[in-house]
Amino acid sequence: MGLRTLSIVLFAGVLNLASATVVPTIALNDGNKIPILALGTYSGKGDKMRQTVNWAVEAGYRHIDTASLYQNEADIGKGIAEVINKGLVKREDLFITTKLWNDKHRRDQVVPALKESLSRLGLQYVDLYLIHSPESENADGTPANIDYLDTWKGMEEAKQLGLAKSIGVSNFDTEQVKRIVKNSQTPPAVNQIEVHAANTREQLVSDMQNLGIAVMAYSPLGFLVNRGQASVPPPQLDDPTLTKIAQKYGKSTTQVVLRYLIDRGMIPIPKSTNQDRLQQNIDLFNFSLTPEEVATINKFNVNKSVFE
Ligand SMILES: NC(=O)c1ccc[n+]([C@@H]2O[C@H](COP(=O)([O-])OP(=O)(O)OC[C@H]3O[C@@H](n4cnc5c(N)ncnc54)[C@H](OP(=O)(O)O)[C@@H]3O)[C@@H](O)[C@H]2O)c1
């Protein structure tokens, strides 16, 4: 490679880095910082997932959300090793979230389950470990009736061992979260729940925020994307109300609904394994919605889950 070609390549590299979005962080109730946008990874697997981690980090994503359930921790781990080896980021620049599945809720199962996730991810620690759901199961999928307060004691052990910097829950309601807060040394730092324009969860979100617990919003694109359901509520991708707001800011309707969650103080987790859509989904930090626009989007609420 000649000197001229080399300088063009280097210059392009600098341009590429310069164009990466910087995602803001907020402080969790344990003092750790969390980026306010995460890459969703459910259903992304294999080499595509490894490649997606590379594209995501190049685009500016620093927070990756996975779970033992997703069976992609090893693929994500390969991607993480690559971006670190390439010098794009250091481990401490990344924020990795994973989750404890329902069949490992016994207190003495929590730390071993996390160690297995860490081994698949190729990491010494995760930034955030979540109880995936309050429901416990036996290995055969039958209900196990383990009190999540016992599971939480295992989560606290994981934090004390430094295997998880922060610990939290997912799919918990206000009563369940309050029960942990009342009976434990460490309150959850995060509750990860489904929130989008057709399922706004206003009471639950405000309860969490009043308790100082950060909300990660899953399935943030709601019914703007095809969920394989025959009949779905608005808003969809071409919704006129969203289109009007999108045109005002020169954005897409998907960017408007992601920004809506940020403007409600949440951390959306859009999933994509497509390089263009990954870039669109992080391009959210040069505009914000007015309180009136947030209120307008809240009016779409019909309490409809994408998993019904
Ligand atoms: N804690 C829990 O119980 C729980 C439950 C569900 C999900 N989650 C987490 O939350 C993440 C997100 O939820 P989700 O995967 O259900 O839904 P989502 O992120 O709202 O939607 C993902 C779908 O939208 C498509 N998409 C992404 N960006 C798009 C764009 N800009 N325009 C059009 N289509 C777009 C994706 O396809 P392409 O990949 O082809 O772009 C994919 O089919 C999950 O991946 C997972 O990490 C957690």
Q: What is the pLDDT of residues 155-165, one digit of tens each?
A: 999 999 999 99
In a domain, 9, yes or no: no
In a domain, 121, yes or no: yes
Give me the percent of the chain exceeding a pLDDT of 90. Answer: 92
Per-residue pLDDT at 114: 99
With cut-offs at 50, 70 and 90, classify the pLDDT of residue 117.
very high
CB 235, CB 302: distance < 8 Å: no
Per-residue pLDDT at 13: 47
Per-residue pLDDT at 18: 52
Flag whether pLDDT at 228 surpasses 50. Answer: yes
CB 67, CB 39: distance < 8 Å: no
Q: Which residues pair with 39 in a beta bridge?
A: 64
Ligand 1 center from residue 111 Cα (angstroms): 28
**Residue 45 amino acid letter:** K
Task: For ligand 1, say whether the CB of 117 is within 6 Å of any of its atoms.
Answer: no
Task: For ligand 1, say whether the CB of 192 is within 6 Å of any of its atoms.
Answer: yes
Per-residue pLDDT at 256: 99
CB 151, CB 103: distance < 8 Å: no
Task: For ligand 1, say whether the CB of 170 is within 6 Å of any of its atoms.
Answer: yes
Atom of ligand 1 nearest to the CA of 218: 10
> Cα(218)–Cα(271) distance, rounded to whole angstroms?
9
Please report which residue ranges of 161-290 form alpha helices under DSSP H. Answer: 174-183, 202-210, 240-249, 253-263, 275-282
Flag whether pLDDT at 1 surpasses 80. Answer: no
Joined together, the tokens standing for residue 77 give 């781990």
Please name the residues in contact with 14: beta carbons below 8 A apart, sequence gap of 6 or more.
none
Among 272, 276, 279, name the best residue to mutate to test ligand 1's pocket (greatest count of ligand atoms within 8 A of Cβ).
Answer: 272
In a domain, 201, yes or no: yes
Burial of 240 by CB count in 10 Å (0-12 exposed, 13-18 middle, 19+ buried)? exposed
Atom of ligand 1 nearest to the CA of 221: 20
In a domain, 135, yes or no: yes
In a domain, 7, yes or no: no
> Cα(128)–Cα(257) distance, rounded to whole angstroms?
25
In a domain, 214, yes or no: yes
Among 129, 223, 269, name the best residue to mutate to test ligand 1's pocket (greatest count of ligand atoms within 8 A of Cβ).
Answer: 269
Per-residue pLDDT at 230: 87
Going by alpha carbons, the residue nearest to atom 17 of ligand 1 is 219
User: Please, what is the average pLDDT of the chain?
Assistant: 95
Flag whether pLDDT at 3 surpasses 60. Answer: no
Q: How many domains does the chain have?
A: 1
Task: For ligand 1, say whether the CB of 282 is within 6 Å of any of its atoms.
Answer: no
Closest CA to 294 of 266, 265, 263: 263
Residues 281-308 have pLDDT tens digits of 999 999 999 999 999 999 999 999 999 8
Active site residues: 70
Atom of ligand 1 nearest to the CA of 42: 45
In a domain, 16, yes or no: no
Burial of 243 by CB count in 10 Å (0-12 exposed, 13-18 middle, 19+ buried)? middle
Ligand 1 center from residue 12 Cα (angstroms): 31
CATH of the domain at 210: 3.20.20.100
DSSP single-letter state for residue 100: E
Going by alpha carbons, the residue nearest to atom 7 of ligand 1 is 218
Task: Kindly state the average pLDDT of the residues 31-49.
Answer: 97
With cut-offs at 50, 70 and 90, classify the pLDDT of residue 260.
very high
Q: Which domain holds residue 95?
A: 23-298
Flag whether pLDDT at 125 surpasses 60. Answer: yes
Cis amide leading into 235 (omega within 30):
yes
Flag whether pLDDT at 273 surpasses 90. Answer: yes
Joined together, the tokens standing for residue 23 give 């995602």
In a domain, 294, yes or no: yes
